[in-house]
Amino acid sequence: MIDFLDNFWSVYSNLVLSLGTNALLALSIYLTLSCGMLAMANAAFMGIGAYTSSILTMNYGWPFPLAIAAGMAAPTLVAFVIGRPTLRLSGVYLAMATLAFGEVVRLCILRAENLTGGALGLNGIPQLTTWWHVLLAVVAVLFLLARLRRSKIGRAFEAIKEDETAAGLMGIDVNGHKMLAFALGAAIAGLAGVLDAHLTFFIGPQEFGFDRGVEILTMTILGGINSLFGPVIGALIITLLPELLRSFKDYRAVANGLILVLIVLFLPKGLWNPAWMRKVTGLAKRAAPSA
């Protein structure tokens, strides 16, 4: 049994740890969606965190805990800077603005060749991420968001999502809460970037573009935002799909888009929807033969 576990971990350790980093990414966009914002900058925030921490550990010998802190602080600071003009937008306009920001980040990475490696990316990043780093990060973020969800801030997020104008009339600081959700999401995405970069040895600008942004959104929409378990389940499914369908790996972006369309059409509240699950359970009980 021990030999089997050792062999399994040696082959699939990166995949298992990727489940954790993708869960963090899904939770990062859950925050903005729970506040009614369709912001698509999380892939860019992940890239900022990944590059910041990698440069600090590779070029300046920073210890990993400090690199993690810097990798979270950098995208949070950027979120505060770009949040003021962009969060005044809503709906598709906010999505377009944040997608444009992601493209700006990608071009900046390409231009700063001396620092970021340009199109070739950064290679030889020290493998400092271990299983307990990922586990601790996921548990800590879930705990933080669970407390936040039940707090006054979480109730304000829900009110803003339901009706922004009514929330403002109730005395809720709409802009302040939107900025908080945006910045916290950026910090979590940056944390995922740090852990992923120090797990895979290599990062490149193509990893943090439009396709990754759609993938992150698909994870959360697939799982649903009615519960914290929804984004985690969505991340699990989207991460495992390429492994289960290796022969279709060239069509991964198409699959993500198709999943997103199907979920919006047939399960708009995602897979983890307590009301839908209770309905299915009730139907199953009624269909079961009585003893």
Number of neighbours of residue 267 by Cβ within 10 angstroms: 15
Dist CA 182 CA 78 (whole Å): 10
pTM for the full predicted model: 0.88
Q: ∠ CA(266), CA(272), CA(277), 5° rounding?
A: 80
pLDDT mean across residues, the chain: 87
Exposed, middle or buried by CB within 10 Å (0-12, 13-18, 19+), for 111?
Answer: exposed
DSSP state letters, 186-237: HHHHHHHHHHHHHHHS-B-GGGGSHHHHHHHHHHHHHH-SSSTHHHHHHHHH
Q: ∠ CA(112), CA(117), CA(121), 5° rounding?
A: 125
Structural contact between residues 105 and 44, judged by C-beta atoms closer than 8 angstroms? yes
Query: Given a cut of 80, is residue 81 above it in pLDDT?
Result: yes
Q: 141 versus 262: which is more confidently predicted?
A: 141
Q: 3 versus 151: which is more confidently predicted?
A: 151
Q: 11 versus 120: which is more confidently predicted?
A: 120
Does the domain at residues 14-287 carry the CATH identifier 1.10.3470?
yes
Dist CA 42 CA 217 (whole Å): 9
> For 18-74, what is each residue's pLDDT tens digit?
999 999 999 999 999 999 999 999 999 999 999 999 999 999 999 999 999 999 999
Please report, for residues 11, 12, 47, 115, 214, the alpha-carbon distance to residue 271 in angstroms, rounded to integers and kept in the order given.
30, 26, 28, 42, 18
> For 103-150, what is each residue's pLDDT tens digit?
999 999 999 888 898 888 999 899 999 999 999 999 999 999 999 999
pLDDT band at 252 (very low <50, low <70, confident <90, very high): low
In this predicted structure, what is the pLDDT of residue 291? 44
> For 85-102, what is each residue's pLDDT tens digit?
999 888 889 999 999 999
List Cβ neighbours of 12 (8 Å cut-off, separation of 6 or more): none
Dist CA 30 CA 215 (whole Å): 13
**What residues does 122 pair with on adjacent strands?**
203
Region of residue 272 (left: phi > 0; alpha: psi -120 to 50; beta: else):
beta
In this predicted structure, what is the pLDDT of residue 273? 67
Dist CA 289 CA 291 (whole Å): 6
Residues 60, 63, 64, 70: is their CA dihedral positive or negative?
A: negative
Dist CA 146 CA 150 (whole Å): 7
